[in-house]
Amino acid sequence: MGRPVALTVAGSDSGGGAGVQADLKTIEARGAFGASAITALTAQNTTGVRASTRTDPEMVREQIRAVADDLGVDAAKTGMLADAEVAAAAADELADADFPVVVDPVVVAQSGDRLLSEAGEAVLREDLLPAAALVTPNAPEAELLTGISVETPDDAREAGEALVGLGADAALVTGGHLDGETVVDVFVGDEVREFRTPRVPDANSHGSGCTLSAAVAADLAQGVDRLAAVENAEALLARAVAHGHEIGEGDGPVHHLAGLRTRANAPRALRAVRETVGALETPEVAPLIPEVGTTVAVATPTATVPEDVAACEGRLTRVPTGVRAPGGAAMGASSHIARLLLGAREHDPSVSAACNVRASDAVRAALAGQLTVATVDRTAEPAEVEGTMDWVAERVLTRRGGDAPDAIVDGGAHGKEPMVRLLAPDAATLRERVLMLADAVA
């Protein structure tokens, strides 16, 4: 069977972060084949839209037909539709389609520039929404389409229900424009579901709406259930925003391929863990191994969750002949050290490798003057904290203004062994630091 085709009917963003360019990158990242019908050309970058010219409506029709007649279409999404005539042309071709259509009602660009005329809004509301398997407005767009003020997740649910009342099979009202430390997207369909993501301060989020809707369309093209497609798209977008590109003078684009880069870099991270473990399996390192053992972890550049972090399978332990690791390396093999590493990287992305060593007096003395050291008092850890290492990373890095130390000395607490946790920019530097400590305490 041929590869599933997802068609985007949207405007072109010369800056490459949104529109057709974002859609095609995302569709390919999700495993479908991306095709396009361009509705408008924009002279656009991260600071805004300088100029915009719509495509002739008949040309929009012909682009859609050309793709459908030859490649076939398994799902489609709409984005910028420019004006009423272009919107009507798209609606004529998609309204009676035998494939699912995701409608991203692009009305205003993130920079505030208007991308759809008021007459075009009416066409979108009356002709495209009833054809939508899913409509994905942000809060301002949901307000324009429904007349409901959206300031809270409850408002978003009400607006989503109104959009379903207008004919859409389901709605996903996104909350990126609302205030709060958590971004809440509300799905209204066969059930109501909230998707919550910690807000990334000063995030590079240009193209986030396009990326989300394109990811859903790509999954629908492959036969994925609608709610599952939304779940997958939410996960992709969270990673894409967390690793947004520092490009341009304005709000940079999201990293559409962050998930692919994680998978592509996994073998390198696994190799780095194996090399580090091999270097530490010596008698000289034995005095550094704590009672609970040592874990070595290396994060991929776009790591977001512990499954993106390579680590040794089982902890290094002391044996009569020195140090041994019970297994190899695997992605997601560590939760404890991986969470510390990820927590540190939220503040200081230059950190990519970590391990824990014994907090003996000799080790502490060896650290002095050799590495930058921070301390943390585990007895101050709140009882309601869910992730110990998340708390440690947040407490230490916040206190240091986001600059990661080379070592975090933890004096322990009731039932918790004192520990030194080493952080490094790469596995090679981590190995050097461990061997330096081993030499110093010998």
Distances (CA, A) of 433 to 277, 287, 288, 314: 13, 14, 12, 21
Task: State phi, psi for 26 to the nearest 5 degrees.
Answer: -70, -45
Strand, helix or coil for residue 287:
helix
DSSP letters along 86-122, please?
HHHHHHHHHTT-SS-EEE----B-TTS-B-B-HHHHH
- Number of domains observed in the structure of the chain: 2
Per-residue pLDDT band at 117 (split at 50, 70, 90) = confident
Tell me which of 256, 275, 294 is where a domain ends: 256
* Mean local confidence (pLDDT), 196-209: 91
pLDDT (tens digit per residue) in 356-410: 999 999 999 999 989 999 999 888 878 766 668 888 999 999 999 999 999 999 9
Distances (CA, A) of 22 to 9, 253, 389: 12, 9, 35
pLDDT (tens digit per residue) in 127-163: 999 999 999 999 999 999 999 999 999 999 999 999 9
Q: Which domain holds residue 399?
A: 264-441
Residues 235 and 322 in one domain: no
Whether pTM exceeds 0.85: yes
What span, in angstroms and rounded, lies between the C-alpha atoms of 219 and 228? 9
What span, in angstroms and rounded, lies between the C-alpha atoms of 269 and 297? 9
Tell me which of 236, 256, 276 is where a domain ends: 256
Tell me what pLDDT residue 309 has.
Answer: 97
Strand, helix or coil for residue 89:
helix
What span, in angstroms and rounded, lies between the C-alpha atoms of 81 and 291? 63
Tell me which of 202, 222, 256 is where a domain ends: 256
Return the structure tokens found at 262.
């994680």
Tell me what pLDDT residue 201 has.
Answer: 86
Residues 288 and 240 in one domain: no
**Is 98 exposed, middle or buried, given 0-12, 13-18 or 19+ CB atoms closer than 10 A?**
exposed
**Of how many residues is the chain composed?**
442
CATH classification of the domain holding 11:
3.40.1190.20
